[in-house]
Amino acid sequence: MEIKLLKRDFLESLEIEKGRSLKTISNYERYLDRFLEFSKITKPGEITDESIRLYRVWLNRRPGLGKETLCKKTQNYYLIALRAFLKYLAKREIASLPPERIELAKTESRDLDLISKEELKRLMEAPSGGALADLRDKAILELLFSTGLRVSEIASLSRDLDLSKDEFSVRGKGGKVRLVFLSEEAKSAVSGYLKKRTDLDDALFINFSPASAQAEAGGRAGGKTGEKNLCLSPRSIERIVKKRAIQAGISKKVTPHVIRHSFATDLLRNGADIRAVQVLLGHANISTTQIYTHVTDKHLREIHKRFHNKRGE
């Protein structure tokens, strides 16, 4: 069977059987196309250790952004897609290279982009006005820190949140549903924001048209009744977080994902179990959550000082 037909079947299985998002499927298709274009392979039996070796050399030398070559992490995305495809072939008992023959490139651990407690406090206090945009931005920031939601998840929220409860369900990566929790600060901020909204849009976080802003300033109803497509995009939410960080006097780059990092590290610093943090973040694998464990290193240092080498005491 032609490998391009098998690739199509594989991508369809990702969508139907695995429930992967269309974005993930699109990425996998792009990664596999790169391999097929490079190797000129037409049948699965032609995939060999040598063809993989040559492909990895090509990936390692391929330019990425700017003049730099592709980083090891990006190279691994290509290899993960190829390995998943080989697993699919093996499941269908189609002769090809065993998937375990593809080893991922070793990547260096990197420091997380974090902000201090003081910077986080200033960020949360940045939207201090009573205008609808200020109330919205305050609700976005508090909700991000309370729940650890991804920016795509918070952008997709509906305004019908039940604020009488301290929790709600969200559908995350791969269509998986998880429970997240609301702090009192988040509930208060979202409630105050929704009370001032007069539009009928279903989205929780929306963009405000110039006409809406003018109406609000004049004390009239904000928003166009029945107006559609007001939902903020993930990119718009990123811009809002960046704007409020600058307003708070934070010089480093701040994104919704940085606030997600702060959510996770705050839990771990206060004694939360890493498995619980994994569930709250919606990570499929514990190895993804383990990037946060370095934040507890200072606690280990304190324990070492308190209990080690107490000779004769």
Is the pLDDT at 189 greater than 80? The verdict is yes
Determine which one of 56, 62, 257, 269 is catalytic: 257
- Contact between 49 and 98 (Cβ < 8 Å): no
Candidate list 7, 138, 244, 283, residue with the active-site label: 283
- 3-101 and 117-298 share one CATH topology? no
pLDDT at residue number 309: 63
Count other Cβ atoms within 10 Å, centred on residue 227.
15
Which DSSP string do the residues of 228-245 spell out, in sequence order? ---BPPHHHHHHHHHHHH
pLDDT > 90? residue 40: yes
Mean pLDDT, the chain, integer: 85
Q: Residue 187: what pLDDT?
A: 95
Task: Answer yes or no: are the C-beta atoms of 119 and 261 closer than 8 Å.
Answer: no
Residue 261 is among the residues annotated as catalytic for this protein: no
Helix (H, G, I), strand (E, B) or coil at 206: strand
Tell me the percentage of the chain whose pLDDT exceeds 70: 84
Q: Per residue in 267-280, pLDDT tens?
A: 888 888 888 999 99
Catalytic residue (choose from 173, 178, 196, 269): 173
Confidence of residue 297 (pLDDT cuts 50, 70, 90): low
- CA distances to 104, 300, 303, 307 from 311, rounded to whole Å, are 46, 20, 16, 10
Q: Where do the domains of the chain lie? A: 3-101, 117-298
Catalytic residue among 20, 83, 138, 150: 150
Domain 3-101 homologous superfamily, CATH: Tyrosine recombinase, N-terminal domain (1.10.150.130)
**Which CATH number is 117-298 given?**
1.10.443.10
To the query of whether residue 110 is one of the catalytic residues in this protein, the response is no
Tokens encoding 252 = 């480093």
DSSP reduced 3-state for 310? coil
In the residue annotation, 171 being an active-site residue is answered as no
Residues with Cβ within 8 Å of 218's Cβ and at least 6 positions away in sequence, in order, are: none
Candidate list 178, 260, 298, 304, residue with the active-site label: 260
Q: Is 222 exposed, middle or buried (0-12, 13-18, 19+ CB in 10 A)?
A: buried
Active site residue 101: no
Q: Which H or E run includes 5?
A: helix 3-16
